[in-house]
Structures are given as structure tokens and as C-alpha cells.
A = this chain, B = another copy of it.
Amino acid sequence: MKQFISVKDVANINSIVEKALAYKANPLVDKALGADKRIGLLFLNPSLRTRLSTQVAAKNLGMEAIVFNVDKEGWALEFEEGAIMSGNTVEHIKDAAPVMGEYFDMLAIRTFPGLQNREDDYSEMYISQFIKYAGVPVVSLESATLHPLQSLTDVITIQEDLINSQRSTVKSRPKVVLTWAPHVKALPQCVANSFAEWMTAWGEVDFVITHPEDYELAEKFTVGATITHNQDEALKDADYVYIKNWSTYNDYGKVYENDPKWMMTNEKLALTNNAKVMHCLPVRRNVELSDEILDGPNSLVTLEASNRVWAAQAVLSEVLKSL
């Protein structure tokens, strides 16, 4: 694997999921694979789970991981071609990326959308420029429109739960519902886009998206999904419910709706097939979903977060093999 930016970089979803679960069973089996290799973890935005799980995954593979908070420890980068740099940006990505490509065997980078200009964000200029100029494989730790390590984790978690639960009530094709939830600020569409992209590419579940009117995601990520504005209808008989807030895509980056009726509660859970509940974290408790669910037996959120290690390890392992 020469890069990991979206589901399109994965040849076979089931086989990378299997690999991740094998690492979970035996974390240090490939400890020699990354010997004398080095990954640079570059953060233009904050991170807790993604950073720590990737550090742990790298270490499990015997590789050194060096974290660099570009925004805090370094300085503002310029991404525009041809810019006359007389403003606040201190260094162009065309100069910074190849240098980091010389220091590291692979680079991983997190960068968020500005949510001001849709065309800018959806062009994925930041991560694309990194890939163009780094000269080494690049792994996304979340970009302007996608969060593929999270989505791989989500597939792993569903697959693991299906194996472990052997719930007789789960259909041969489980029903997975992505539901919008309220939040206190305008969030990116990354996790939702990416989850939709992976669920439809995986193809082993019936996938439904529910959100308020005018909260449609970009069509290119949701082809193959059933979309409805009726949350109750969507939740009916669901086996897995994925809760996530996002801001509007069409009239870009806005918050139209904050109605607590969209918050996930036990009352709504009763509509489902005793569904397991997922969330990528961090979660706003009692805004996106209620304490009773997060602290109850149906929550998979800690399992999901812990699986971030195995998702990262499977991806880094594939990249290492391509070096």
C-alpha cells in the first residue's frame, strides 16, 4: 500500500480487517517488520486517539514514531501554488514536505477543513500537496473530507462484534444506521463521509443514513445508501447505530438544526434490534447521545476506540511492506 487516504487505497476490505484482528490477537507478531524505519506523525490539528493509537501501532511494529505538532511546535504552512509569501505563512508545503520525506520512511498527517469554502476543502489541497511533494508514502490521520483510519476501525469493530456476539437475531446482512445528532458547533463531514464510503464499499450490510432536511452529505460518498429524514423509521430493526454530528454540505459549514429530538436515547434504542451503539469520540454527552446509552451495555465506543490501534497497525504494516 503506497498511501492510505481513502477506502480506494484498500485492495480488499475483508482482508485488511482480518489482518487487524490478527494483530489484536497477537500485537507483537510483526515486531521486526519496522526495524530501523521511522514514521513522522504531523498534526496541523489536535488529536488524542488517532495520535496515541498510531504511536502504539508503530511501536508494536518495531518502528519509531516521531510526533510533530506543526501548528504548535512549528509554524503556519502555505499551500497555495505561486503564493507571494509576504503574509503570515512561514513555509511552503513544497519546501517542508520533501524535507520531511527525507527524514522519514513514511509520513502521517492530520489536517482539518476550514469549513469556510467548500471547494477548497473538498479539493483536499492540504493532503494532496503533502502527497505530491513528500516523496514517501502518506497516511491520512483525518483530512478535510475523510477519516479513513476511523472508518476502518468501525468496520473492524462491527466485524468483531458479529463474530463475538453470534447474535441469532442479527440478520445475515446486518442493518447499519448512520444517524445525525445535535452538537454545539459546526463540525466537519469527514467521519460521516468516510463511514458512508466504507459501509457501501464493504457491501456486507444494509446501510441507512438519517439526518434532518438539508443535511445531505456529498453524493459521491453516499451512493448505495438508503437516505431518510425520518430517524424513527431508520432506526427500526437496526443492528448497529452510528451517531455523528456534521454541519451542512450544500450551504456549506452551517448549523441549521440543533433539536434535542435527534439525540440518541434509550427510548429510541427501543426501536432497534437491540442495536449496538457506535461513536468515534470525542462525544458531547447528553447532547449527541445520552449517558444512559454510553454507560449501558449496548455501547461499543470504548471497544471502537481501542480498535484504533489494530486499524493503524494493519495499515502501517501494509505500507511498510511496500517500502
Contact = CB atoms under 8 A, between A and B. Distances in A.
A295 interface: yes
A183 B136 CA distance: 31
A301 B74 CA distance: 19
Interface residues of A, number: 58
A47 B103 CA distance: 14
| Secondary structure class of chain A's binding surface, majority of residues | mixed
A299 to B, nearest CB: 10
Interface stretch (A49-57, A156-164, A220-228): A49-57
A95 B28 contact: no
Give how many copies assemble into the complex.
3
Interface in A87-115: 87, 90-92, 94-96, 98-100, 102-103
Contacts of A53: 103
Contact of A83 (B49, B91, B98, B285): B285
Interface in A277-311: 281-287, 291, 294-295, 301-302, 305-306, 309
A168 interface: no
Given A72-B72, A91-B281, A96 B59 contact: no
